[in-house]
Amino acid sequence: MRRNNSLINIPEIFDDCNLYFAQTKQHIPFSIKRIYYIIQSNVKLPRGFHAHKKTKQMLFCIQGKIKIILDDGKTRESIILDKPNQGLLIDKMIWHEMHEFKKNTILLVLASQKFNPADYIRDYEKFKNKIS
């Protein structure tokens, strides 16, 4: 994979709870402009199927399990996210799909840009053309 996608481990503190934290620079290589989270996703319906022109994101599966497909136009890889201390960095211009949501999964996303529908490429052929 050509771009900067990787699994990043964040600190976990086991006290009378399990506490996890992530900070910019050290764990998150961009300034966070937006957060969103997905809960109660239909376990039968995959999501995503797009790339972002500018937005970089860090995905945390803080509960449950999900399979993420990453595609840079040349290679595809599949990553399981199921650990609350692991964040998946998704660079801009990476086609991503989310599959096999386990029931009660909570996906927390930190994003480098505010929401802008024009930042999405939702057509795979257009994505391939832009990347080549």
Residues that bind ligand T46 (CB under 6 A): 34, 36, 38, 47-48, 57, 96, 109, 115
Taking the complex as a whole, the smallest distance from the CB of residue 11 to ligand T46 amounts, in Å, to 23
Strands (E), the chain: 6-9, 12-14, 18-20, 34-38, 47-52, 57-63, 66-71, 76-81, 86-90, 95-99, 106-111, 120-121
Distance, C-alpha 45 to centroid of its chain: 17
Taking the complex as a whole, the smallest distance from the CB of residue 87 to ligand T46 amounts, in Å, to 12
38 vs 106, which CB is nearer to ligand T46?
38
Cα dihedral: 128, 101, 8, 86 (round 10): 180
Phi and psi dihedrals of 130, rounded to 5? -65, -35
User: Which amino acid appears at position 55 of this protein?
Assistant: T
14 vs 117, which CB is nearer to ligand T46?
117
Residues labelled as active-site residues: 50
Cβ(110)–Cβ(58) under 8 Å? Answer: yes
Taking the complex as a whole, the smallest distance from the CB of residue 17 to ligand T46 amounts, in Å, to 27
57 vs 86, which CB is nearer to ligand T46?
57
